[in-house]
Amino acid sequence: MFRLALLNPNTDERHTAAMGAVARSVLPEGCEVTAVSVARGPSSLESAVDAALEAHHIDLVCLAGFMRLLTPWLVRRWEGRLLNIHPALLPAFKGLHTHERALAAGVKTHGATVHFVAPDMDSGTTIIQAEVPVLTDDKPETLAARVLEVEHKIYPQALRLVAEGCGENPVTVLIQQKPPARDRGTTGVTR
């Protein structure tokens, strides 16, 4: 049986339940989804995470909203079994403030990437990406909202790809979102 852990620092049980429902809906039959919560105790957070994942016999760990860098120790222990989503088309805009940086750079497209976690930040093998247009009137918040929409689509797709066995030979899939009709054409309204 394939076991997936949802590792999310969000303590809202509804959010965790929603993530679990999405994961269950896309994974092959026979997969088990577990929300792993880790109470901070005398041991380090990463030791507690590792112990919890081992205790549940987890095969794949999905990070969501996990806004902290994992140490090389934990990444190597779970290498090839840690997935993360990043709000940019990696390798562009690694790290934080991706939407602001994309707008400042004047790019025409932005997006999201699901990738395997590697010891170096946002540098793991890409599994799937989705692209959205950058509109002339975009603010970081409006661009972030469009990116979040595609994040919700590609993370489940990446889970399915990995659970069905492409984890050993990952494929990169790029999904493009067309700009709204008001921003299409030759007027140069997208950057």
pLDDT in tens, 39-77: 555 457 788 888 888 888 888 888 876 777 888 999 999
Give alpha helix (H) positions in 67-133: 72-77, 98-105
Q: At 57, which amino acid appears?
A: H
- Whether 19 shows a pLDDT value over 60: the answer reads yes
pLDDT (mean) for 82-98: 96
How are beta strands 32-35 and 126-133 bridged, if at all?
unpaired
Q: Which range has the top average pLDDT, 26-40, 101-115, 175-189?
A: 101-115
Residues 117, 63 contacting (CB under 8 angstroms):
yes
How far is 51 from 49, CA to CA, in rounded Å? Answer: 5
Q: For the chain, give the percent of residues with pLDDT over 90.
A: 43
pLDDT value at position 173?
47
How far is 15 from 19, CA to CA, in rounded Å? Answer: 6
Distance of alpha carbon 9 from the chain centroid: 14
**For the chain, domain boundaries:** 3-183
Distance of alpha carbon 8 from the chain centroid: 11
Domain 3-183 bears CATH identifier 3.40.50.170: yes
pLDDT (mean) for 19-44: 68
Tokens read off for 161:
């790809």
pLDDT value at position 191?
30
Place 8 in a pLDDT band, splitting at 50, 70 and 90.
low
Question: Would you say how long the chain is, in residues?
Answer: 191
pTM assigned to the model: 0.78
pLDDT value at position 11?
55
Query: Beta partners for 32?
Result: 3
pLDDT (mean) for 114-140: 95
Residues 122, 90 contacting (CB under 8 angstroms):
yes
Which of 15, 56, 57, 86 is catalytic? The answer is 86
pLDDT value at position 171?
44
What's the start-to-end Cα distance of the chain, in Å?
Answer: 47
Is 86 among the residues known to form the active site? yes
Place 185 in a pLDDT band, splitting at 50, 70 and 90.
very low
pLDDT value at position 165?
74
User: Number of helices (H) and strands (E), helices first, in the chain?
Assistant: 5, 7
Helix (H), strand (E) at residue 45: helix 45-55
